[in-house]
């Protein structure tokens, strides 16, 4: 699909057999969740799964969106238009395990993790509910307040 320059300017290509998700999956399979990470070739993956998207009303797609990597396949603004044309709303995964709806017309630049969904309000509400779940809150607190294990070990060793 591409001939990507390596460190030092050398180029290397590898021939691989490919198929589309539409051709691979049986026609009666309904999909709920897809994770795509193909280094800028996300537009081609979505094109190759349009039938799956059409027959899967609850499908959610998580993908990396890096405008620098997309440029060798499709301009990022064109890709955003294509995503919206498939009937998806775009949510950006932001710090703190949150989702933020990207309104139409807002440019998406840089590196992002995106959730493509048909039900953004419900998905955002579900994430917010999970964020308030006590074990999740404790995990976030623990991550921010990492114990000083050496100090605790010295105290423990005193006894």
Q: For residue range 83-98, what is the model confidence (pLDDT) as tens digits?
A: 999 999 999 999 877 8
Taking the model in full, what pTM does it have? 0.77
Distance of CA 13 to the CA centre of its chain: 26
* CA distances, 46 to each of 51, 65, 137 (Å): 10, 13, 35
Return the bridge partners of 63, or none: 36, 114
Quote the pLDDT of residue 3. Answer: 61
Q: What is the pLDDT of residue 147?
A: 73
Length of the chain: 159
Q: Which residues of the chain have pLDDT under 70?
A: 1-7
Round to whole Å and give the CA distance between 81 and 85.
6
Structure tokens, 76: 């990022």
Report the C-alpha gap between 153 and 125 in whole angstroms. 42
pLDDT for the residue 5? 64
Cα(69)–Cα(53) distance, integer angstroms: 24
> How many angstroms separate the CA atoms of 131 and 96, rounded?
9
């Amino acid at each position: 699909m591409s001939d990507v320059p390596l460190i030092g300017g050398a180029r290397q290509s590898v021939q691989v057999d490919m198929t589309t998700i539409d051709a691979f999956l049986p026609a009666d399979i309904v999909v709920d969740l897809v994770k795509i990470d193909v280094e800028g070739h996300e537009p081609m993956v979505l094109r190759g799964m349009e039938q799956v998207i059409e027959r899967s009303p609850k499908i959610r797609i998580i993908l990396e969106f890096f405008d620098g990597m997309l440029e060798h396949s499709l301009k990022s603004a064109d890709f955003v238009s294509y995503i919206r044309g498939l009937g998806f709303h775009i949510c950006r995964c932001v710090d703190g395990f949150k989702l933020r709806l990207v309104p139409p017309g807002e440019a998406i630049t840089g590196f992002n993790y995106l959730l493509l969904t048909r039900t953004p309000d419900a998905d955002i509400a579900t994430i917010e509910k999970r964020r308030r779940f006590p074990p999740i809150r404790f995990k976030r607190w623990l991550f921010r307040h990492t114990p000083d294990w050496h100090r605790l070990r010295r105290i423990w060793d005193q006894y």
